[in-house]
Homo-oligomer: A and B are copies of this chain.
Amino acid sequence: MTPAELQRRLAGLLVVRASGHGRDEQRRYPRWELCNHELERLLKAGVGGVILLGGSAEELRLRTAQLQAWAGQPLLLCADVEEGVGQRFEGASWLVPPMAIGRLHGRDPIRAEQLAERYGRCTGRQARLLGLNWVLAPVCDVNNNPANPVINVRAWGDTAATAASLSAAFVRGCQSEGVLACAKHFPGHGDTSSDSHLELPLIPHSRQRLEAVELPPFQAAIAADVAAVMTAHLQLPAIDPQRPATLSTAVLTDLLRRDLGFGGLVVTDALVMEAISAHHGAEEAAVLAFEAGADVLLMPDDADQALAALHEAVRSGRIRKQRVQESLERRRQALQRCLQRPAGDALVLEQDLAALVRSKDHQLSETLLQLSLDQQGPPLAPGAAGINLIRLDNQLNAPQLPTMAPALLRPAMQGYRAVVIDGRSPSPWSGDPEVPLALDRLGDGPVLLQLLVRGNPFRGSAGADEPWPQVVQQLLKAERLAGLAVYGSPYLWEQLRQQLPPEIPAAYSPAQMPQAQACLLARLGWTSAPQEGGFTD
């Protein structure tokens, strides 16, 4: 093999990041998303995969065709579509967070498993139709720590048994559509209260405890023949006192490959994340991860540097050529699996993609929303000149609260004026912990409290750090609480619902998107506003 050939083969093991939008100036995160010039150059140099984020389904369809055309070889094209393809690409199905099905699992495990499998099928099929061949899901982490800021409702359960059963079902569904799934974040990211996007979390548990709680969902996914496993950026002193899981031979080779018998593709979580990049340069992180047992390296800080370092490591004998061949062979076998897709469901680019979301997909979305709703108390009272107080915890362009969102329109129809609090609002707080809400800044009348709060990466908390229990007490005492809606965190909901007297209307949905708002408010008796249309009451 010539050095140029070796370089090209090693490039096949890198996955770089691109926007789903077609033009450079449309990139939302240009710091992380390569420009087209660079993308084309790297793909022509043999880079083997792209992770995509952003844009509509139509844009993604054009984009994947473009990337595939630039590359001379079949690419791994992946995305973090854990909650349906519509979570990241506008227009595809956006489903409830997995934890919604996890909550159902306790009372109806068979139904929950069936739904998780349909969830996987829906996601896999739409991913495939849009040109993706690799879904970076399911999250196999057991969310047994309610303060987890980064996993939270992304997990399929808060017990090992539930997470195992449902993530395996997701894998079966997704892969039956000829799209690879990816169990993450190995060996388990559920029991942390810090965010690896920002720092390196530590899991203090023994091997025995890992075997009881963290590992079973991964074992179940492996038993379901999951094509790939993604590593976690976590410190696990009981397994490896030195290196984080992503860079640890003890974790990737000894535990995952040898003890759990996983023969598929091992991919790192994004190497650019602070947990890794704050401690290791782009070059060393890539070499260490590969040495530890990873086959594919996701989002190295600098693809050229990572590639040069890998090349040098092979040249110097630090990495064996045979090891490179093994990883390339695993990549080839994974791509081979994608070719076994069901026939008769192809989507031509010229078509309008109307066939992307089928009525059975709509039914699945709706069924999941209905099944995961909690409700207590009477319906909401009609018509009042009051305040629709919304807390929105996610600032990333807030796709859950468009202008025509039911959470805005339905209360408006009833006479409620919207006040939205997000991370950039003037403060709504009085400074007095007993009566924390500055009611004089909001206006008079009853208050409908709608909290769109869940754990979100990059926030550093699970959203439970604001005094909502005290606000509920304050509004109850002032006799101004018209109703409560919680979208997202089951932990916040459990905390607040217990405070409510039976005459207060209240409901909870694990999901936040407009369809979830329509569903929840309808359950409380407020049906469709004329402008919104489309949403089932």
Contacts and interface: CB of A to CB of B under 8 A. Distances in A.
A503 interface: no
- Binding site of A, secondary structure by majority: helix, strand, loop or mixed? loop
Given A58-B59, A397-B403, A421-B426, A23 B532 contact: no
A38 to B, nearest CB: 12
Contacts of A27: 533-534
Nearest to A408: B424
A148 to B, nearest CB: 23
Given A58-B56, A59-B56, A532-B30, A352 B426 contact: no
Given A66-B352, A357-B23, A534-B24, A426 B424 contact: no
Interface in A495-535: 530-534
A358 to B, nearest CB: 11
A491 interface: no
Given A395-B403, A403-B396, A26 B90 contact: yes
Interface string A50-91: 000001101100110110000000000000000000000011
A420 B424 contact: yes
Contacts of A532: 30
Contacts of A533: 27, 30-31
A484 to B, nearest CB: 19
A403 B58 contact: no
Interface residues of A, number: 55
B26 A403 contact: no
A104 B26 CA distance: 29
Residue of A352, A390, A420 contacting most chain B CB atoms (<10 Å): A352
A247 to B, nearest CB: 26
Nearest to A422: B420
A39 to B, nearest CB: 12
A419 B426 CA distance: 6
Nearest to A420: B424
Interface in A19-40: 21-31, 36
Interface in A151-193: none
A385 to B, nearest CB: 16
A23 B425 contact: no
A21 B58 CA distance: 9
A35 to B, nearest CB: 8
A434 B533 CA distance: 45
A29 B427 CA distance: 31
Contacts of A442: 426-427
Nearest to A529: B31
Given A22-B91, A23-B91, A30 B66 contact: no
Nearest to A404: B28
Contacts of A25: 357, 362, 534
Contacts of A420: 424-425
Contact of A354 (B23, B438, B531): B23
A424 B428 contact: no
A475 interface: no
Interface string A307-319: 0000000000000
A402 interface: yes
A418 interface: yes
Nearest to A36: B354
A212 interface: no
A475 to B, nearest CB: 15
A350 interface: yes
Given A55-B56, A352-B63, A425 B425 contact: yes
A353 B534 contact: no
Contacts of A320: none
- Give the top 7 A-B pairs by smallest Cβ distance, nearest first: A30-B533, A420-B424, A66-B352, A426-B428, A31-B531, A58-B59, A427-B441
Given A24-B534, A427-B441, 15 more contacts: A22-B91, A22-B354, A23-B353, A27-B533, A29-B531, A56-B59, A66-B352, A418-B424, A420-B424, A421-B425, A425-B425, A426-B426, A426-B428, A427-B443, A441-B441
Interface of A: 21-31, 36, 55-56, 58-59, 62-63, 65-66, 90-91, 349-350, 352-354, 356-357, 362, 390, 395-397, 402-404, 418-421, 424-428, 438, 441-443, 530-534
6 contacts: A22-B353, A23-B91, A23-B353, A58-B58, A419-B425, A425-B425
